[in-house]
Amino acid sequence: MRFKRLLILLFILLIPLTAAANLQVEQLEKSNILITEYGNNATFKLKITNNENSGDEFQIYSLVGINLYPKGFFTIISGGSINLDVTAVPHRETLRDRRGVYSFEYQIKGKNTGFFKDMMVIKIIDIKDAVDISVEDILLNASITKLYIKNKEKTEINGLKIVAKSKFFEFSQTLYLDSEEEKTFVVPILLERQIEAGEYELGVSYELNDKKSSKTGAVRYLEASGISVISKTEGFIVKKATTTKKNEGNVPAIARITARRNILTRLFTVYSDRPATSARNGLFVDYSWEKELGVSEAYTVTVTTNYTFPFVMILLVIVVALLTRFLMTSKVSIKKRVSFVRTRGGEFALKVVLRIKARKNVSHVIITDRIPGHAKLYNKFGIPPHRIDESTRKIEWDITHLGAGEERVFTYIIYSKINIVGSFELPAASASFEHEGKREHIFSNKTNFAAETTEN
């Protein structure tokens, strides 16, 4: 099958370029929702009008992960039109990798009149995302609740088995859902013992055409006075825990919120409201807030723990350790710096200083530096270079041996008769040396000089 697709693609690519076909295409109808477990295909009814001066035979196809049917040619006379039922069948890879709205290009090719290009849109969705399940809030001592199942898409769904489980009930049903239909089920509550108010997990499993999937929802269990609880935690470095209690009942009620922090994290924690009480309990500190809520009134407490400072401290320790390790293991280091030099003739001049230091015994050291293209080398040196290559503007010093801890300093001066304004950057120097029979290379830092600072 894949080989045939490649042959078709190769055949189309080898067709010489022609002018666009003068066609008019309208989408009269479409059924473009594809539920992966259903295995259905998208269908479109196209009205195709031939505005060419002659009739022709046409073929419709797509090159981007979709097969379009019918495959054969159809004839449209000049000025005539036909209604064509088109079926879009996604490739296996498309169904596997894509979800949501998927736009793709299709083409209508005439044997003599060229190509027409336009876009089609399909929606690929899993059954768990097509069907939404929610539960009515559960009151204290309630014996029943309501389960809402809604088809969010404009397509029929038949033979769908849904199993929903929570601490309060178990529900199982195989059902048919019309386009965008919602169904309500009354479910008995099977709570054997009293539990705390709050938000509890609702596990939902779907089975369609022997294919299974699942997702989780939430069931809210209200307090006796009708207080709902919503808790949310977000962030990693800056961790924010928010607790909101709302009086869903019809009488005033006391809302109580608690939080616990250890003796270390409490130092980096701030609260949106001052705690009513705080109590030390071993390595932890317990905080509590209380407020009387009127009808429909809510109370929110946000506890924010900022781990930025300890994180930065740990990061700095790691960086210092790695830097120390690198410096300890580096056999040779070379540093480069520059300074401004005043001249009698007013030329721009810089003094360059190279410091090379060995941490281990090395031999056959070659220090190399380059002179910028618009600068010249002054003929006086601290230690004269062993080689000056004017063509490559390279100067070199040789050192036979450097003992561990030994340091050498080399200086030279460059100048320019051109008035330089702005930042003046010099390239990094380099050094090569031998250690235990191996040749190694290192580079110095790059240096910059702000030329405007030399005025006056």
Residue 303 lies in a domain: yes
Query: Residue 250 — pLDDT band, cuts 50, 70, 90?
Result: low
Q: What does the H/E/C string look like for the chain? A: CHHHHHHHHHHHHCCCCCCECCEEEEEEEEECEEECCCCCCEEEEEEEEECCCCCEEEEEEECCCEEEECCCCEEECCCCEEEEEEEEEECHHHHHHCCEEEEEEEEEEECCCEEEEEEEEEEEECHHHHEEEEECCECCCCCEEEEEEEECCCCCEEEEEEEEECCCCEEEEEEEECCCCEEEEEEECCCCCCCCCEEEEEEEEEEECCEEEEEEEEEEECCCCCEEEEEEEECCCEEEEEEEEEECCCCCEEEEEEEEEECCHHHHEEECCCCCEEEEECCEEEEEEEEEECCCCEEEEEEEEECHHHHHHHHHHHHHHHHHHHHHHCCEEEEEEEEEECCCCCCEEEEEEEEEEECCCEEEEEEEEECCCCCEECCCCCCCCCEEECCCCEEEEEEEEECCCCEEEEEEEEEECCCCCCEEEECCCEEEEEECCEEEEEECCCEEEEHHHHCC
pLDDT at 128: 93
At 399, the amino acid letter reads I
pLDDT at 322 over 80: no
> Residue 214 corresponds to which tokens in the numbers above?
């699942």
What distance in Å separates the CA atoms of residue 351 and residue 229, rounded to the nearest whole number? Answer: 72
- Mean pLDDT within 271-281: 90
Q: What is the pLDDT of residue 5?
A: 54
Which tokens belong to 187?
């479910």
* Span 416-425, pLDDT tens digits: 877 666 667 8
- Does residue 436 fall inside a structural domain? yes
User: Is 321 within the bounds of a domain?
Assistant: no
Q: What is the pLDDT of residues 141-187, one digit of tens each?
A: 889 999 999 999 999 999 999 999 999 999 999 999 999 999 999 99
Q: Whole-angstrom Cα distance, residue 325 to residue 310?
A: 22
Residue 426: name the closest of 448, 452, 444, 410 by CA. Answer: 448
User: What pLDDT was estimated at residue 453?
Assistant: 44
Q: Which two tokens stand for residue 4?
A: 């045939």
- Rounded-to-integer distance, Cα 74 and Cα 431, Å: 76
Q: What's the burial of 232, exposed, middle or buried (CB within 10 Å: 0-12/13-18/19+)?
A: exposed
268: CATH: 2.60.40
Regarding whether 117 and 35 lie in a shared domain, the answer is yes
| 93 and 156 co-located in one domain | no
Same domain, 105 and 19: yes
Say if residue 114 is in the same domain as residue 140: no
113 lies in some domain: yes
Nearest alpha-carbon partner for 206 in 239, 177, 173: 173
- What is the pLDDT of the chain when averaged over all its residues? 86
User: Of the candidates 92, 107, 125, which is a domain's last residue?
Assistant: 125
For residues 429 and 367, the answer to whether their CB atoms sit within 8 Å is yes
Q: Is the pLDDT of residue 1 over 60?
A: no
Q: Are residues 212 and 200 in the same domain?
A: yes
Domain with 15 in it: 2-125
Calculate mean pLDDT across residues 61-79. 90
- Read off the CATH number of the domain in which 137 is found: 2.60.40.10
Same domain, 143 and 190: yes
When pLDDT is averaged across residues 354-358 and rounded to a whole number, the result is 91
Do both 117 and 26 map to the same domain?
Answer: yes
Residue 184 inside a domain? The answer is: yes
In this structure, the answer to whether residues 264 and 354 fall within a common structural domain is: no
Residue 322 lies in a domain: no
Query: Binning pLDDT at 50, 70 and 90, where does residue 264 land?
Result: confident
Q: Give a yes or no: residue 175 inside a domain.
A: yes
Residue 134 lies in a domain: yes
Least confident of 78-87, 285-294, 412-421: 412-421
> What is the model's pLDDT at position 451?
61
On whether both 180 and 215 belong to a single domain, the answer is: yes
Task: Please give the Cα distance from 127 to 204 (Å, whole number).
Answer: 12
Q: Kindly report whether the peptide bond that precedes residue 70 is cis, defined as omega within 30 degrees of 0.
A: yes
Query: Residues 6 or more apart from 5 whose CB is under 8 A from it?
Result: none
Q: How far is CA 377 from CA 341, 354, 394, 453, 454, in A?
A: 13, 15, 10, 22, 19
Same domain, 301 and 372: no
Model confidence at 14, pLDDT cuts 50, 70, 90, reads: very low
Task: Please identify, among 204, 221, 238, the residue that sits at the C-terminal boundary of a domain.
Answer: 221
* Dist. CA 378–CA 106, nearest whole Å: 72
How many distinct structural domains can be found in the chain? 4
C-alpha span between 409 and 354 (Å, rounded): 6
Residues of the chain with pLDDT > 70, as a percent, come to: 91
CATH of the domain at 404: 2.60.40.290
Based on the fold, state whether residues 302 and 376 are members of the same structural domain.
no
Answer yes or no: do 167 and 155 share one domain. yes
Q: Which of 157, 192, 221 is the last residue of a domain?
A: 221
Q: What are phi and psi of 160, to 5 degrees?
A: -90, 125
The whole-angstrom distance between residue 401's C-alpha and the CA centroid of its chain comes to 53
pLDDT for 28-39, tens place per residue? 999 999 999 888
